[in-house]
Amino acid sequence: MVQYPSIRLGHQPKKALYTTLARSWCWSRQCVVFIYGTLETAGEEMTPDSSERAISTAIDATFALLLISASVTLLVISLDTEQDTDQSEFDEADQLVETLNALKLSTNVSVRNTLSGDVVYTYPREGTAVALLAEAAISESEINGVQYMSTNYARGIRGKILNYLSQTGTNAQIRAVWEPSEHAPVRGEVIIGPEPPADEDISTATLTVPSGLRGADSVDLEYYAATANNPPDDAVIAAHIIQGYFPPLHSQYLLEQDSSSREDIEYRYKRAAHLMYRYGNATGADASAVDEQFQSDGNPRALILNNILITMLKKDIQLDSATQRGDIDPDLTVDIKVRTW
């Protein structure tokens, strides 16, 4: 333990008093300067007659030092509090992401015929808010800028999440985006909440969520390469997206059913062909080929229908050159961005 000298103020020389006070009470060079300056103005001489004034000066200096120490302590506490506040604000978006990943929601999804407006079928969905957001983004997907399917999925999820944000007093915007390739005219997006104010501090968090779709795997791509004589990358990208929309085995199963499932899959095939012909670069012959598959005897073949749609979609995929390898999301994931303020 450090031993500090005792203080006897009454009959010490002036310089000895300075040294004793500095060593006894000061652990900072700034404090030494402050005490020295204080005592220097106390008087030029230290005599027995001025002992009372010396004691008073020492007490004043000691009290001032205590005030400084208290101020420094308060300053440190204040800085720590500000740092904690900043960290809390920074983590607010992450906390909301964790909440959405655990929040259970349910909704009934109705799919309508985009031409007649009739409900094709209705099905229940339940899961975490994050998982349903990903599905809603895909349900809102557009082909060549026109909505592929007409559903109430996004509207239902949006209302439930907005209700939760309102109840918890949370200011946030949530954006879910499905974009399998930047070169393809296929994209889905759901936006919940307003744009953040320009003058607010914004906390941001992002996450990637499985879409539940299965794109073209290596076996599928080898099949398309063999049947199309080693296709360029635009066909590979198109195959990946179409396989996501229409997995061959599952689609074939639906095509063989005598129920609303058959009506649904037929409608979706024809709708995709219509959008790529009407709003893209596909030809009328391509679209007619899809119709012919459903008019022929027997059940249509999913692989043949998929090949027709791949041929149509690749005409709308824009690559910078014939040799450019376009980007592709192998898992057809959905990106979710959360901003809070």
The rounded Cα 198 to chain-centroid distance in angstroms is 19
Q: Between residues 129 and 234, which one has the greater pLDDT? A: 129
Count of domains in the chain? 3
Domain match, 107 and 70 both: no
- 300 or 30, higher pLDDT: 300
Whether residue 239 is found in the same domain as residue 262: yes
Per-residue pLDDT at 221:
53
Mean pLDDT of 115-134: 87
Q: What is the pLDDT of residue 317?
A: 87
Q: Is residue 2 in a domain?
A: no
Residue-number span of the structural domain to which 222 is assigned: 218-314
Residue 32 to residue 18: CA distance in whole angstroms: 9
* 279-328 pLDDT tens trace: 999 988 989 999 999 987 778 999 999 999 999 998 998 776 554 555 66
Higher pLDDT, 329 or 31: 329
Instruction: State whether 224 and 208 are in the same domain.
Output: no
Beta strand segments in 5-149, E: 104-112, 119-128, 142-143, 146-147
Q: What is the pLDDT of residue 10?
A: 43
- At residue 161, the pLDDT reads 96
pLDDT digits (tens, 9 = 90+) for 71-100: 444 333 334 444 444 444 447 899 999 999
Ranked by mean pLDDT, the top range of 11-25, 50-64, 66-80, 194-208 is 194-208
**In 10 A of CB 133, how many CB atoms?**
25
Q: Indicate whether 170 and 67 sit together in one domain.
A: no
State whether 255 and 280 are in the same domain. Answer: yes
- Does residue 156 lie within any of the structural domains? yes
Please give the pLDDT value at position 226: 54
Residue 327: its pLDDT value, please? Answer: 63
Q: How confident is the model at residue 336 (pLDDT cuts 50, 70, 90)?
A: very high
* Structural domain includes residue 157: yes
Is residue 97 classed exposed, middle or buried when 0-12, 13-18 and 19+ CB atoms within 10 A define those classes?
buried
- Identify the pLDDT of residue 34: 36
**Is residue 45 domain-shared with residue 130, that is, in the same domain?**
no
Residues 78 and 127 in one domain: no
The contacts of residue 203 (CB under 8 Å, 6+ apart) are 89, 90, 91, 92, 93, 94, 339, 340, 341
Percent of the chain with pLDDT over 90: 42
Q: Are residues 204 and 288 in the same domain?
A: no
20 and 118 fall within a common domain: no
Q: Are strands 172-178 and 334-340 parallel, antiparallel or unpaired?
A: antiparallel
Same domain, 155 and 177: yes
Residues near 42 by beta carbon (within 8 Å), at least 6 away in sequence: 53, 54, 57
Q: Considering the domain boundaries, does residue 77 fall inside one?
A: yes
Q: What is the pLDDT of residue 101?
A: 93
Same-domain pairing of 50 and 124: no
* Structural domain includes residue 160: yes
Whether residue 40 is predicted with pLDDT greater than 70 in this model: the reply is no
In a domain? residue 321: no
Tell me the whole-structure pTM to 2 decimals. Answer: 0.67
Query: Looking at the domain assignment, is residue 118 inside a domain?
Result: yes
77 lies in the same domain as 140 = no
Q: How many residues does the chain have?
A: 341
Per the domain annotation, does 325 fall within a domain? no
